[in-house]
A and B are shown apart, each in its own frame.
Chain A
């Protein structure tokens, strides 16, 4: 007998006291928790996102489409960026004023090559206000998971208000489970040394979030 059959057999024998009711988890579980916490206007939700991101030591900027190229240019310059990673579907206008050399996100780049890049600019799929979280799912404009991980500096552009949801439940219902997703709440951090929060152990140490709209 295979281990698979054995384990499943043991599970079934362990549950002989349970009367199967054929219900799905959706039917069997009370869902009387909230879909979002509190009543907020759209602007207040965006404001909450900004506050929670800041609370996690992301640096939040707001601008409109016209100001964006200059803002991106300034953020890259402040970081001293020589080379910037650019996912394929990123609107070219976003980087139209920036000086650094643009490197395309390619499947063939090695991790060592990516490690030499200073910054990355990406969009996102959505952002969650209540938790201060950005969600990337690898769509064009966001790139492969590793490009927002290896460079030390990540600039993420969120279109407000249409990419902003209030809560975790609202986020999950908008995501496609088939796509790999990365949820980012502030820069990489550890509290392993006497519970002191230290930013940037392995991911980007600096996270600039641009709320565009």
Chain B
């Protein structure tokens, strides 16, 4: 990953700062609880949720097991449909490719659809270094960009900002980037949205180059899919003459038909809607409709290293719905910034250290940013066993072991005496001294484990009818930690 977050303190320091910030905590708590409750309802509407979840998991698993085959097929289909495919080993190469493509158009500004892949590689900064201005067009991303801030949630990146803060940012910053906020702007959400609409429309209508990510790429047909709410995605995908999409290689699915699974599970898991307001699908270029030139940049940037880890590779199944963030007791208190990565929350805790390695203090501490309560696994629409990967990565940090880094097999040294171990210990101490963070999750669950039903009562019954509830660990992690002094005695 890029240096976007270099200099971040390790998780515990960042988290303890966040925990002291009452506004941030209030905003986060409100947001995660609201989405969580709505999501459960949206999921309960589908009586075959368990089957959809299994199918989603299996499609992704199958794709990853034959990733080379599907990437080659995708390249053929996109090319046949009039697109051009580029391959980027790392952030630097991806940024170089995109910068060159923009320069070839002769333009010095681009409009962007919210994309975690481009955040991951620090594309905006790389473009800025070459004199190209990249405008974020998602309302939340706009808030984040104007506020010189970082996103704190996958789906609602400005979840940590309340309306008063947003109004202040618009008032002071909008004018520097284009159309200023109207006089007398209040903090009413409708007014704030209107100000953003006017500010951004100026940019959409003149944009010649759009940059996006994609939620899915279909190998069989070469189709790319972007799922969104506001319509800024549609603006960026259809108005410019040139469209450049930067997409992680794990986003490929084999067949058109596979979309029927994810287009049911993603919106419900993400914003708790039956369907998001807008979904765009395009296959190469279409005469007279939309961009005349389409480039797809396929991004590795640590993904093949992650794929090489037999336990950890399941993190690549993630469809970025963010459901795991909304149920996580640690995320709720610590906030997204504490994770020091574009991928916050439980998925960030397993993805970032795999994509970036565990050399830095923040990455070494991330596998500890969890209470292992298992709620993230329960809600995950592709059934990623996040706790399993967390434990696996903790072992790796503490004990070392074989891994693949930039395509090479390496043996990681145990972190003993190193910054990583100290960071891990501090993370653990942080969690253990916060009564809420840990006990809410896993201590209570363990204490009552014999009482846990095997199926859920009420509307959850259909969902759990065909699968067992995950077992609660016999021994809570913190007990294990205390008993073994953080794994140093080699058990666990």
A residues with a Cβ closer than 8 A to B are: 2-4, 6-15, 17-18, 20, 23-26, 28-34, 37, 52, 56, 107, 111-112, 115, 128, 130-133, 138, 144-146, 149, 168-169, 172-173, 177-196, 198, 200-203
Contacts and interface: CB of A to CB of B under 8 A. Distances in A.
A14 B229 contact: no
B89 interface: yes
A138 B276 contact: no
Nearest to A12: B68
Contact of A188 (B35, B278, B404): B278
Contacts of B67: 11, 15
Nearest to A188: B231
B289 interface: yes
Given A7-B304, A189-B230, A202 B200 contact: yes
Interface string B63-93: 1011110011000000001000001110001
Interface string B141-172: 00100000000000011110011001000000
A51 to B, nearest CB: 11
B193 A190 contact: yes
A177 B221 contact: yes
A17 B307 CA distance: 11
B65 A15 contact: yes
B407 A132 contact: no
29 contacts: A3-B88, A3-B93, A3-B300, A4-B87, A7-B71, A8-B68, A13-B308, A14-B304, A14-B313, A15-B68, A17-B310, A23-B62, A25-B63, A34-B51, A52-B274, A132-B274, A144-B289, A145-B290, A149-B231, A168-B264, A172-B257, A177-B218, A178-B81, A180-B282, A182-B234, A182-B281, A184-B277, A201-B139, A201-B230
Nearest to A55: B274
Contacts, number: 255
Contacts of A196: 189
B108 interface: no
Given A183-B275, A188-B278, 13 more contacts: A7-B304, A18-B65, A24-B255, A30-B54, A144-B238, A177-B218, A177-B281, A181-B281, A184-B277, A192-B139, A193-B163, A198-B192, A201-B193
B205 interface: yes
Nearest to B81: A178
A166 B428 CA distance: 50
A85 B77 CA distance: 34
Nearest to B63: A25
Contacts of A32: 48, 51, 55
Interface string B296-338: 0010100011011010010000000000000000000000000
Contact of A193 (B59, B192, B232, B283): B192
B230 A202 contact: yes
Contacts of A182: 234, 278-281
Interface of B: 27, 30-31, 34-35, 45-48, 51-52, 54-55, 58-59, 62-63, 65-68, 71-72, 81, 87-89, 93, 137-140, 143, 156-159, 162-163, 166, 189-190, 192-193, 196-197, 200-201, 204-206, 218, 220-221, 223, 229-232, 234-235, 238-239, 249, 253-261, 263-264, 267, 271, 273-283, 286, 288-290, 298, 300, 304-305, 307-308, 310, 313, 404, 407
A107 B87 CA distance: 32
A12 B81 CA distance: 27
Contacts of B281: 177, 180-183
Contacts of B255: 24-26
Contacts of A10: 300, 304-305, 307-308, 404, 407
A131 to B, nearest CB: 4
A12 B67 CA distance: 8
B293 to A, nearest CB: 15
B193 A200 contact: yes
B174 to A, nearest CB: 15
A185 B277 contact: yes
A146 B288 CA distance: 11
Contacts of A178: 81, 221, 283
Contacts of B271: 191
A32 B157 CA distance: 35
A12 B89 CA distance: 15
B75 to A, nearest CB: 8
